[in-house]
Chain A
């Protein structure tokens, strides 16, 4: 299944793009997807949303066409 990642702030700069598409195995979880995206070295503390909803449980299963927002820890203020 194909999943779209939207990258924010430092991740956008690290990847040199704000959007990445990856093919994942059916039944892949958010954590599986992040592992693919970061080649196994998933940064700590990142914020993740799936289809514009924040996800706390990284074992949440993804579906074809899901949009996964990958965001650094908040640093506003």
Chain B
């Protein structure tokens, strides 16, 4: 298990090989790579510049990796995050886990990616043709609760899907709201007597 800041992201093949060697119980390796895209509100991106509080960032990455691997029962994991300048198309973050089965690998990678972005003291400046800006992510407040399976809800008064989720103590994006097999938009109105499901995003396609 390793998590670190790097000047360039390692080869995916090498990371997969590293994780496969963790145990002969490994039946799935799931890997996410974030790359620099060319589009931004400031026009075409020239580069990103990553800055970190290096000591705290590496401590945070290791803590997140340990917590998520334990929580999801995955066997091993790797996080690499770039610091310094990155051109369009360049990999800037790699999150990978090895597990016995795919479900826990998918969940762990998703949580790792979200937590790395939200909790690690790393910042990126976008340098584009029309100017530059420090990218501001909306800070996630600590979760009141985390939905691990779907819940079925009967609506007793008109409200939007967003209001429903917020009344349940969750936030749009952390869960999805489905009516029959359709995922609702946040402004979609629910009426009295509607039956909907509130679903973690990673379960939304598992049979609706």
Which residues in A have some Cβ–Cβ distance to B below 8 Å?
A: 8-10, 13, 44-45, 47, 49, 52, 54, 69, 71-77
Contacts and interface: CB of A to CB of B under 8 A. Distances in A.
A75 B117 contact: yes
Among B57, B93, B138, B139, max chain A CB count under 10 A is at: B139
Given A9-B125, A74-B120, A74-B123, 11 more contacts: A8-B123, A10-B134, A72-B136, A74-B119, A74-B139, A75-B134, A76-B57, A76-B81, A76-B116, A77-B81, A77-B117
Interface of B: 34, 50-53, 55-57, 60, 81, 92-93, 113, 116-125, 134-139
A74 B136 CA distance: 8
Contact of B51 (A9, A47, A49, A54): A9
A60 B10 CA distance: 40
Nearest to B133: A10
Given A10-B123, A45-B139, A77 B113 contact: yes
Tell me the dominant secondary structure on chain A's binding face: loop
A54 B34 contact: no
Contacts of B81: 76-77
A75 B135 contact: yes
A71 B118 CA distance: 13
A75 B93 contact: no
A54 B139 CA distance: 16
B124 A69 contact: no
Contacts of A74: 117-123, 137, 139
22 contacts: A10-B123, A10-B134, A47-B121, A54-B56, A69-B53, A71-B121, A72-B134, A73-B136, A73-B139, A74-B117, A74-B120, A74-B139, A75-B117, A75-B124, A75-B136, A76-B57, A76-B81, A76-B116, A76-B120, A77-B93, A77-B116, A77-B117
